[in-house]
């Protein structure tokens, strides 16, 4: 299986963890992984490469110049790495016809070979609809019935993608419709391939809100999704490395991280340090006395 992921310096530990879950859940399959890195931390990228090379059959590290995306808009927690998927046809080997793209905020919990060997039926990509498919489709003004997919897991026909200059298409679309953009390349890809993508089963991209629906909001469901890929989509507190993550699958991700060079990294979003709490109390006391 040819796997590809894109990331910046902030996501180095999470790429290592995601690929650990991939290897653990697919112990007997040959895995060829392309790491596309946008960042300056070459030392940490090298550490990531060495670790991944110890668990994956074949690894390539591609350094991508992020300045190519500098004029493209970003929103919320997204960084320039969010646009790197658009560069896949340009940076991956010409002889590579099919890849499975995986976001770093994923835990692989099942065999991915059935997904990788899926018949795309002539479509340029296969994807799972986004949890908020209908409202996102309306926001982006897509044609009725086009749907809207989540780009965290993509089965990509690279030959089809190479017939287009996605970076140029993105630049034009983002320039002409900046008011519509919320999710960077996910919006660009949905606009470009509207109605021209293969819907695949939810188990291949089991998204945060679907997990919460099945486990907390509707536990009475007789046939909940049995995921092969869990996607911790959403803001910071939705991520498995955040202390407030309530996704029941976050323990799988955290256990996998214990095998990586970042095993001792603390969870993010913890309580403020003692010094910060003291400073906060001092400020409150000053404000209180000032009002006397």
Question: Binning pLDDT at 50, 70 and 90, where does residue 68 land?
Answer: confident
Position 7 pLDDT exceeds 60:
yes
CA 136 to centroid of chain Cα atoms: 18
Mean pLDDT of the 162-191 span: 87
Q: CA-CA distance, 78 to 209, in Å (whole number)?
A: 19
Are 235 and 212 spatial neighbours (Cβ–Cβ below 8 Å)? no
| pLDDT greater at residue 288 or residue 59 | 59
CB-based contacts of 34, cutoff 8 Å, min separation 6? 2, 3, 4, 5, 59, 60, 62, 92, 99
The per-residue pLDDT for range 81-127, each reduced to its tens digit, is: 778 889 999 999 999 999 999 999 999 999 999 999 999 999 999 99
pLDDT at res. 111:
98
Question: pLDDT class for 78, splitting at 50, 70, 90?
Answer: low
In tens, the pLDDT along 248-258 reads 999 999 999 99
* DSSP for residue 197: S
CATH class, range 2-287: alpha beta
Q: Which residue has the higher pLDDT, 280 or 46?
A: 46
pLDDT of residue 50: 97
pLDDT number for residue 168: 87
């Amino acid at each position: 299986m040819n796997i590809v992921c894109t990331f910046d310096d902030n996501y180095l530990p999470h790429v290592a963890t995601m690929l650990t879950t991939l290897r653990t859940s697919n112990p007997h399959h040959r895995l060829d992984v392309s790491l596309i890195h946008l960042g300056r931390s070459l030392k940490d990228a090298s550490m990531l490469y060495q670790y991944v090379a110890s668990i994956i059959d074949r690894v390539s590290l591609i350094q991508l110049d992020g300045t190519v995306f500098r004029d493209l808009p970003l929103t919320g927690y997204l960084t320039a790495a969010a646009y790197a998927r658009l560069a896949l046809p340009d940076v991956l080997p010409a002889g590579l016809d099919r890849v499975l793209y995986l976001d770093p905020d994923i835990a692989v919990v099942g065999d991915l070979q059935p997904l990788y060997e899926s018949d795309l039926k002539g479509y340029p990509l296969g994807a799972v609809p986004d949890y908020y498919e209908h409202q996102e489709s309306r926001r982006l003004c897509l044609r009725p019935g086009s749907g809207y997919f989540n780009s965290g897991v993509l089965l990509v026909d690279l030959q089809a993608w190479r017939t287009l200059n996605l970076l140029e298409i993105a630049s034009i679309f983002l320039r002409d419709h900046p008011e519509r953009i919320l999710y960077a390349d996910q919006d660009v890809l949905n606009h470009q391939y509207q109605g021209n993508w293969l819907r695949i089963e939810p188990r291949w991209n089991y998204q945060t809100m679907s997990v919460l629906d099945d486990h907390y909001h509707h536990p009475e469901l007789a046939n909940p999704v049995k995921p092969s890929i869990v996607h911790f989509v959403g803001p910071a507190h939705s991520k498995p490395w955040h202390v407030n993550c309530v996704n029941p699958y976050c323990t799988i991700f955290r256990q996998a991280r214990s095998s990586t060079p970042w095993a001792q990294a603390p969870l993010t979003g913890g309580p403020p340090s003692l010094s910060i709490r003291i400073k906060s109390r001092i400020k409150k006391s000053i404000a209180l006395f000032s009002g006397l």
